[in-house]
Structure 1
Amino acid sequence: MTHAAPPSTPMTSVGHIRAIAILGLPLIGGHVAQFAIGLTDAAMLGWYSTAALAAVTLASSYFHAIFLFGAGFAFAVLPLVAEAAGRGDSRMARRSNRMGMWLSMLYGALAMPAFLWAEPILRTLGQDPQVAKDAAAYLSVMGWGIFPALAVMVLKSTLAAQERTQVVLWMTLAAAGVNAAVNYVLIFGNFGAPELGLTGAAIASLMTVTTSGVILWVYCQRALPEQELFRNFHQPDWEMFARLFRLGLPIGFTTLAEVSLFTASAFMMGWISPVTLAAHGIALNLAGLTFMIHLGLSNVATIRVGNALGRKDLPHMLRGARMLIAISFTVAMASVAAFLLWPTALISLFLDPKNPDYPLILTASITLLMVAAVFQLMDGLQAQALGLLRGLQDTNVPMVIAVFGYWAVGLPTGYILGFVFDLGGVGVWIGLVTGLSLVGALLLWRFWGFAVHRTDLF
């Protein structure tokens, strides 16, 4: 059933901040808690051994490159449901959710061979044979998590677009806690359990993401009975399938372009040495943790722009966009300060001081964290620009910008500086900064030009 959209009233800056906080804090908390699952794996395995930390760094980069490409279909659900909520169209949630699930599960099935045959793929990409073997062992277990992980992304998008973010936060916090507890037991063999090391971390992560999917499914069944999100789940809706595919595929490629830049950087670090790869994993986890705040704000941007689009309210959208960018910039500055002022304390969370490689990893990680501080600003801004553009369902041009900036500029720059000019890991990370900065600037230019002049949308 479709209802008339509620009337909008002008909102002050304080009103925008309040609205962003109410919607954004649970989303940010959910992203931080979700990231904490991988962060916990890295931290505990870092205390377990340098080899295990190098392997999980490689395996996580590999898994997330594949996972986040498929998550484009889940991300596409967010602006569609948000726009429908702005119009008061409750039927759109069910249609989008169902076909988002179809596309995600189909993609998961196509992706499984890449996890099952990970070792020869990683060895072909020039990785250390032992690191490749260990990473493949992790992926042979965690790879099956692609199905529940994608399902969780679809359900989270459906709920977040309707501003039901509290359940996502609490579910993810609980999942992070369970993952840490199971990791502690299975990695180190505590409480009489077998010491499984890397495989224990994979089992813990698979259990966690599967439980998360079940919890969200039960919640949707009980808390949203009127939407009947899973009614006639077996029946196709080819119109919505095609619409989500056209919207989600560019989002997937855009995400893949960025993620593959970081995945390729992990491969290049592996070419240098396992110690360098371990240091890369530490710096990347710390930078990724702060990025979760920007990602949560980016989701808010998509939802609020989608709502404004449904109400045809351009002034409201532009005021909210300015406020989101300002908040993201403030968060980035705080991250820069933390990385520059307390690098040793942050890095030491991942390392056992008794580890014989401790001095080498610490020195390399501090250097990389200095470079990570530089790209905090543009990484946050490009996330906000992407979120704003997705709210307008503009995905094709951002995809082209991302592919060009990351693959044609960032990746070659990192390789040339790292290996031709022999700057090593620092050169690779300068390539990351270059790609992120270019994409961030172009996406912001695209949003302001696209939103202001597309009067047909509003």
Structure 2
Amino acid sequence: MADTLTHHMRRTLVLGLPLVGGQLAQMAIGVTDTLMLGWYSVPALAAGTIGATFFFSVFILGAGFAYAVLPMASAAAGRGDEIRVRRIARMGLWLSAGFAALALPLFWWSGPLLSALGQDPQVAEGAQTYLRIAGPGLIPALLTATLRSHLSALEHTRIVLWAVLAAGVLNAGVNWLLIFGNWGFPELGLAGAAIASLGVHALTTGLLIFYATRGPGMARFDLLRNIHRPDWPVFGEIFRLGWPIGLTLLSESGLFAASALMMGVLGTVPLAAHGVALQVAALVFMVHLGLSSAVTVRVGQFWGREDREGMLRAALAAAILSFGAVLLATWLYIGGGEAIIALFVDPTDPARPAILDLGARLLVLAALFQLVDAAQVMALGMLRGVQDTRRPMVYAFVAYWMLGLPASWILGIEMGFGPEGIWLGLCVGLAAAAITLSLRFLRLILPPPRAPIRG
């Protein structure tokens, strides 16, 4: 058992580490945009932040179809059905492109929408300028997400990391040229950042398509063969599996957006400390998100072979690795919380001491926070591996919005525990999700108990 479990852990690491690196590199692109727009001007930073948040919210809803490709292709690959692998990828690309095309008008008329949501008119107008350029990038962004799932299901994850790293370099370079007008290029400010974003998405899609069709061992899948031809049964399967994933992702990101609004009620310092502590926690969360995708692939392969023992061991191996990352991060949070927060705060800011103190206390809570957050995202990955998404969507929504959000408001605002209370409330919701989703996975893969023999 130990050798087998060690083998599963090694396979999960080989598959998952490039995915973790890809997630971290993708996050670094967003951090680069924030830094460079901040260097340009505060209005550009505000409009770019709102625009990027709007873009991400639409993207995350449509990404459900891309995520659905991962377990379906993994199961087909586990059975050695290469034709079905191709059909799944093809229909995933269809759905992703179709969703993106339908969503494009939201970006074009985003200004009135953002104004209706209470944003400053100038910020809303700037965000609309950004989104009218960057918005069409939703098409390659969702195609990229689908191709990433296709390649990950086939355990070709290193190319995903290299493609994202190349995109990050391009993004920083084009930002430097077009935001600030360096080397004789026009100084476009916010519009320059939008052009860079569009270019990044197009480059990443191009690299992944090239690899998926010409890379080592990929020719046999013949990805683009009959790309124009619909396969309605597979289209329907991906749609039914994917829309609950999109709504689950949106409900989770919405929970954290709501927590930021609650922090804003408490004041500027709590909001700033919350934002920094959450950014640190998000960096560590990328480890668990990458492992979650890896466990979807591993469980999906055994699901395709109808191997219950293999599914259980693959899930256990991934859970052990995730827990190891939790222990390491906990040691960092407790031992160096204030030093970590200090990296994100201007030394000349008069509010710095208050932000450092509160941020360090929140990072101590992050030890509990990340434990339950990691557990719930790992359970979601396992359930996607067995192609179970509708019931998990309901469990997650109830846990996040009917337990976590009210608990955060009651503990943080009504009972006066402040920022720590809001974080404890988030822990309540995430813990409920982790427990119910984990039990759901075990119920699905463990054999039913035998009826007693009566004689």
Q: TM-score of the superposition, structure 1-length normalised?
A: 0.87
| Alignment deviations for residues 185-220 of structure 1 (CA, whole Å, 9 cap, x no partner) | 444454454555544433322221211011111222
Contact 1:54 1:281 in 2 (8 A): no
Contact 2:6 2:317 in 1 (8 A): no
Query: What is the CA-CA distance between 1:442 and the residue it aligns to?
Result: 1.2
| Cα distance in 2 for residues equivalent to 1:364 and 1:129 | 33
* Correspondence for 1:15: 7
Contact 2:274 2:362 in 1 (8 A): yes
Contact 2:311 2:445 in 1 (8 A): no
What letter matches 1:390 in structure 2?
R
| Cα distance in 2 for residues equivalent to 1:50 and 1:275 | 19
| Cα distance in 1 for residues equivalent to 2:129 and 2:275 | 18
Contact 2:107 2:128 in 1 (8 A): yes
Residue of structure 1 aligned with 2:137, choices 137, 145, 148: 145
* Pair 1:251–1:378, CA change in 2 (3 A): same
* Pair 1:47–1:411, CA change in 2 (3 A): farther
| Cα distance in 2 for residues equivalent to 1:95 and 1:248 | 16
| Cα distance in 1 for residues equivalent to 2:358 and 2:2 | 51
Query: What is the CA-CA distance between 1:439 and the residue it aligns to?
Result: 0.7
* Correspondence for 1:293: 287
Residue of structure 2 aligned with 1:260, choices 245, 254, 267: 254
| Alignment deviations for residues 275-298 of structure 1 (CA, whole Å, 9 cap, x no partner) | 765554433332222111111111
Residue 444 (structure 1) aligned with residue 438 (structure 2): yes
- Structure scoring higher RCO (CA < 8 A, sep ≥ 6) equals 1
Residue of structure 2 aligned with 1:332, choices 303, 315, 326: 326
* Correspondence for 2:111: 119
Residue 207 (structure 1) aligned with residue 196 (structure 2): no
* Pair 1:409–1:327, CA change in 2 (3 A): same
| Alignment deviations for residues 40-91 of structure 1 (CA, whole Å, 9 cap, x no partner) | 2234445556665555554444332221121111111111111111111000
In the TM superposition, 1:131-210 aligns within 5 A as: 131-210=123-202
| Cα distance in 2 for residues equivalent to 1:193 and 1:352 | 31
* Unaligned residue ranges in structure 2 (runs of 5+): 450-455
Which range moves more in the overlay, 44-53 or 439-448? 44-53
Which range moves more in the overlay, 403-412 or 106-115? 106-115
Structure ID, larger Rg: 2
Which range moves more in the overlay, 217-226 or 327-336? 217-226
* Correspondence for 2:452: none
| Alignment deviations for residues 366-420 of structure 1 (CA, whole Å, 9 cap, x no partner) | 4554443431111111111111111111111111101111121222333444554
* Correspondence for 1:375: 369
| Cα distance in 1 for residues equivalent to 2:191 and 2:309 | 52
Contact 1:379 1:436 in 2 (8 A): yes
Q: Secondary structure at the match of 2:229?
A: coil
* Correspondence for 2:84: 92
| Alignment deviations for residues 247-276 of structure 1 (CA, whole Å, 9 cap, x no partner) | 111111221221221233344456666776
Residue of structure 1 aligned with 2:72, choices 63, 80, 90: 80
Which range moves more in the overlay, 346-355 or 198-207? 346-355
| Cα distance in 2 for residues equivalent to 1:65 and 1:435 | 21
| Alignment deviations for residues 300-358 of structure 1 (CA, whole Å, 9 cap, x no partner) | 11111111112222112212211211110110222223233334444454455456776
* Pair 1:353–1:179, CA change in 2 (3 A): farther
Contact 2:369 2:423 in 1 (8 A): no
| Cα distance in 2 for residues equivalent to 1:123 and 1:268 | 20
Q: TM-score of the superposition, structure 2-length normalised?
A: 0.88
Q: Secondary structure at the match of 2:16?
A: helix
Q: Secondary structure at the match of 2:22?
A: helix
* Unaligned residue ranges in structure 1 (runs of 5+): 1-8
- Size of the aligned set, in residue pairs, is 447
| Cα distance in 2 for residues equivalent to 1:34 and 1:55 | 20
| Cα distance in 1 for residues equivalent to 2:26 and 2:46 | 21
| Cα distance in 1 for residues equivalent to 2:298 and 2:67 | 15
* Correspondence for 2:34: 42
Residue of structure 1 aligned with 2:394, choices 400, 420, 436: 400
Q: Secondary structure at the match of 1:342?
A: helix
Contact 1:69 1:253 in 2 (8 A): yes
What letter matches 1:263 in structure 2?
A
Residue of structure 1 aligned with 2:224, choices 206, 218, 230: 230
| Alignment deviations for residues 20-50 of structure 1 (CA, whole Å, 9 cap, x no partner) | 1211111211222122211222344455566
Residue of structure 2 aligned with 1:249, choices 243, 258, 262: 243
Which range moves more in the overlay, 263-272 or 371-380? 263-272
